[in-house]
A and B are shown apart, each in its own frame.
Chain A
Amino acid sequence: MSEEFEKTEYVSYLEHKGKYTGIRSWIYTLDHKRIGLLYLYAIIALFFVGAILGMLMRIELVKPGETIMKPQTYNGIFTVHGIIMIFMVVIPGLSVVFGNFFLPILIGAKDVAFPKLNRMSWWIYIIGCMLAVASQFMKDGPPDAGWSFYAPYSTTTSTNVIMATFAAFVLGFSSILTGLNFIVTIHQMRAPGMKFMNMPLFAWAIYATAWTQLLATPIVGITLLMLIAERLFGIGFFNPDLGGDPVLFEHLFWIYSHPAVYIMILPALGVITEIIPTFCQKKIYGYKAIAFSSLAIAGVGFLVWGHHMFTSGMSDQARWFFSFLTFLVAVPSAIKVFNWLATMYKGSIDLKPPFLYALSFIFLFTIGGTTGLLLGSVATNIQVHDTAFVVAHFHYIIFGGMGFAFFGAIHYWLPKMYGRMYNMKRATTAWVIIFIGFNLLYFPQFILGIQGMPRRYFDYLPQFQTGQIISTVGGFILITGLIMMVYNLVQGARKGEIAPANPWHGSTLEWQIPSPPSLENFDEAPVVKENPYDYE
């Protein structure tokens, strides 16, 4: 890329007048920043739909037996809760919002490599969401097989499995195309002078994520097609009566779905890596270790899928293999935590909202991660598989991890995206409520799980009720905090005080351009520094 860099006059991308006006200027936009915002709004909306579904489950579980719904309804609700949260919120998540918005800026580019493809990725995403919604209301009833759609139940249940899995297939396309776009962007569009090792670590995180999106998603794509073919034609791959093997479905499903959790967490780890140095006013410790650990997590993450299947009937050898690899993959994640702590040591700490979310991320992610070790060792897994313990583990990792990183990212980058600041006191209060609510909601479930409370169960023995009540109360506190947080952010984005270009004294490239950025990000050619944390 050695084109002449023409200087331009500053016009905020939000004010820029192009070919279209009004809502069409959004739906037909080619600007990566607007596309990032479109994803953001969709994801927030879908997150709240998913959260309400979660609250309905919590209300149902507040006492044994039927509380507010029938068992079939409950099965439909936990299924769609998973589908929405996983395929529409957390997997696209940080990548499509902050990757889209900031990747080009962080590497000194004007946009992604393929802006039209980027726009199409969003349209495909929306179509996928609509198909998933449709699957809830079509005549055979909402799917009830769980978001993991295990055969043989998924191949025989009378509900709208085909529509739901086809929706997931379409959403997968969006994910693949986004990954493709980001890989080419990073390879081809870095500003002159910016080598790979001069890239900010969030860009490295997006890079590792993009490869995982690209290579893992096709496998779930073909698996869902096989599932649909099984329902339509009885092809037999997963049906023991026809010579097939249901465990084969589990293999194929988790060969994607395990790397998928790294799609969820890698960008989150990248965001934390950006937030911490800024609020410690210190350069990140161990740049190379963090960059390469992102790649290591992505790579090894392809080899551990069987730890979801320890009780499925796999061979002993397979179980040893997967357990061993699972312990291995924890190492690069831990490396990041050590590097963050080393960065904080003797730093000048500023407890602003983004940093509060980053700190709580480390705490919650560590709980999630260490309980993962309990799940990753075969002997203990037998006790806790398919119990509330697993539910607690993955909510700590996905929600406490990726979710909190998402909240941290929006608190960090909102002033840049909208040129306005939110009320920090309210943000902090909301964080406190969210943190308390989150732990009340999910921690009891570790205990319930070890005691034997199964997951995806509509009913339970009376001994579990205390824990379930605490959990439900936590849920209500959490959702209150979430509503407060979003309200504060929306107020801030729309009517908050005008924010300076660099409110946090950050030292990466995005803080050197105006807030909000101009249409093509840089009005003058960016001067690339060797150290990506040297821009002041």
Chain B
Amino acid sequence: MANNTTHTTEYKVLVRILLVLMFLTFVTISVTSLNLGAFSVTVALLIAGVKGFFVLSYFMHLKYENLLLRILVALVFVLFAVIVLITFIDYAYR
């Protein structure tokens, strides 16, 4: 039974991650005023994805967890993305 094996993330690392996240929030708001046409959703999702990646890796500690857990998390996101894509095979061609 594995207990107390969680790595300790230092305070300053957490502060730095917060600053990165706040910066990305600022970016995502500013980017709204640009006219990117069809790409605006992609860019918004990309930035959100990067923010999510930082939350998952550092706040939720995935960077220091075992590989199996990281793969599982990735698979869940992939599953969701695939389901959305397949649904659009219907909607895009109706």
Q: Which A residues are within 8 Å of any B CB, using their own CB?
A: 1-3, 215, 247, 251, 255, 302-303, 306, 313-318, 321
Since A2-B1, A313-B94, A316-B93 are in contact, a sample of 5 more A-B pairs with Cβ atoms closer than 8 Å, ordered by chain A residue number, is: A215-B79, A303-B82, A306-B90, A315-B93, A318-B93
A3 touches B89 (CB 8 A): no
A3 touches B90 (CB 8 A): no
A306, B82: Cα distance in complex, Å: 14
Give chain A residues whose Cβ lies under 8 Å from the Cβ of B87.
Answer: 251
Q: Which B residues are within 8 Å of any A CB, using their own CB?
A: 1, 76, 79, 82-83, 86-87, 89-94
A219, B15: Cα distance in complex, Å: 35
Please give the distance in Å from A302's CB to the nearest CB on chain B: 7
Please give the distance in Å from B39's CB to the nearest CB on chain A: 23
Give chain A residues whose Cβ lies under 8 Å from the Cβ of B94.
Answer: 313-315
Give chain B residues whose Cβ lies under 8 Å from the Cβ of A247.
Answer: 90
B93 touches A215 (CB 8 A): no
Selected A-B contacts with CB under 8 Å, 23 pairs:
A2-B1, A3-B1, A215-B76, A215-B79, A247-B90, A251-B87, A255-B83, A302-B82, A302-B83, A303-B82, A314-B90, A314-B94, A315-B89, A315-B90, A315-B91, A315-B93, A315-B94, A316-B93, A317-B92, A318-B86, A318-B89, A318-B93, A321-B86
Known: A215-B79, A302-B79, A302-B83. A317 touches B93 (CB 8 A): yes
Q: Which residue of A lies closest to B90 (CB)?
A: A318
Q: Which residue of A lies closest to B92 (CB)?
A: A315
A321, B92: Cα distance in complex, Å: 13
8 Å CB contact of A251 from B76, B82, B90, B92: B90
Q: Which residue of A lies closest to B68 (CB)?
A: A187
Please give the distance in Å from A357's CB to the nearest CB on chain B: 34
Q: Which of A1, A215, A317, A318 has the most CB of B within 10 A?
A: A318
Known: A1-B1, A3-B1. A317 touches B86 (CB 8 A): no
Please give the distance in Å from A294's CB to the nearest CB on chain B: 16
A247, B93: Cα distance in complex, Å: 14
Q: Which of A306, A315, A321 has the most CB of B within 10 A?
A: A315
Give chain B residues whose Cβ lies under 8 Å from the Cβ of A215.
Answer: 76, 79
Give chain B residues whose Cβ lies under 8 Å from the Cβ of A255.
Answer: 83
A215, B73: Cα distance in complex, Å: 12
A321 touches B83 (CB 8 A): no
Q: Which residue of A lies closest to B91 (CB)?
A: A315
B1 touches A321 (CB 8 A): no
Give chain B residues whose Cβ lies under 8 Å from the Cβ of A314.
Answer: 90, 94
Q: Which residue of B lies closest to A314 (CB)?
A: B90
A-B pairs, top 7 by smallest CB distance, nearest first, are A315-B93, A318-B90, A317-B93, A314-B90, A318-B89, A315-B94, A315-B90
Give chain B residues whose Cβ lies under 8 Å from the Cβ of A317.
Answer: 89-90, 92-93
Give chain B residues whose Cβ lies under 8 Å from the Cβ of A2.
Answer: 1
A215, B75: Cα distance in complex, Å: 11
A143, B37: Cα distance in complex, Å: 46
A318, B91: Cα distance in complex, Å: 9
Give chain A residues whose Cβ lies under 8 Å from the Cβ of B76.
Answer: 215
Q: Which of B1, B76, B82, B87 has the most CB of A within 10 A?
A: B87
Q: Which residue of B lies closest to A318 (CB)?
A: B90
Q: Which residue of A lies closest to B76 (CB)?
A: A215
Give chain B residues whose Cβ lies under 8 Å from the Cβ of A302.
Answer: 79, 82-83
Give chain B residues whose Cβ lies under 8 Å from the Cβ of A313.
Answer: 94
A188, B50: Cα distance in complex, Å: 32
Q: Which residue of B lies closest to A306 (CB)?
A: B90
Give chain A residues whose Cβ lies under 8 Å from the Cβ of B83.
Answer: 255, 302
Please give the distance in Å from B94's CB to the nearest CB on chain A: 5
A321, B87: Cα distance in complex, Å: 11
A302, B83: Cα distance in complex, Å: 8
Please give the distance in Å from B4's CB to the nearest CB on chain A: 15
Give chain A residues whose Cβ lies under 8 Å from the Cβ of B79.
Answer: 215, 302
A303 touches B93 (CB 8 A): no
A306, B87: Cα distance in complex, Å: 9
Q: Which residue of A lies closest to B86 (CB)?
A: A303
Please give the distance in Å from B82's CB to the nearest CB on chain A: 7
Give chain B residues whose Cβ lies under 8 Å from the Cβ of A1.
Answer: 1
Please give the distance in Å from B87's CB to the nearest CB on chain A: 6
Q: Which residue of B lies closest to A325 (CB)?
A: B86
A303, B80: Cα distance in complex, Å: 11
Give chain A residues whose Cβ lies under 8 Å from the Cβ of B93.
Answer: 315-318
A315, B87: Cα distance in complex, Å: 10
A251, B1: Cα distance in complex, Å: 42
A386, B82: Cα distance in complex, Å: 28
A286, B19: Cα distance in complex, Å: 54
Give chain B residues whose Cβ lies under 8 Å from the Cβ of A316.
Answer: 93
A33, B8: Cα distance in complex, Å: 40
A315, B86: Cα distance in complex, Å: 11
A313, B91: Cα distance in complex, Å: 10
Give chain A residues whose Cβ lies under 8 Å from the Cβ of B82.
Answer: 302-303
Q: Which residue of A lies closest to B83 (CB)?
A: A255
Q: Which residue of B lies closest to A245 (CB)?
A: B91
Please give the distance in Å from A309's CB to the nearest CB on chain B: 8
Give chain B residues whose Cβ lies under 8 Å from the Cβ of A303.
Answer: 82, 86
A247, B79: Cα distance in complex, Å: 21
A30, B8: Cα distance in complex, Å: 35
A1, B2: Cα distance in complex, Å: 8
Q: Which residue of A lies closest to B89 (CB)?
A: A318
Q: Which residue of B lies closest to A317 (CB)?
A: B93
Please give the distance in Å from B74's CB to the nearest CB on chain A: 13
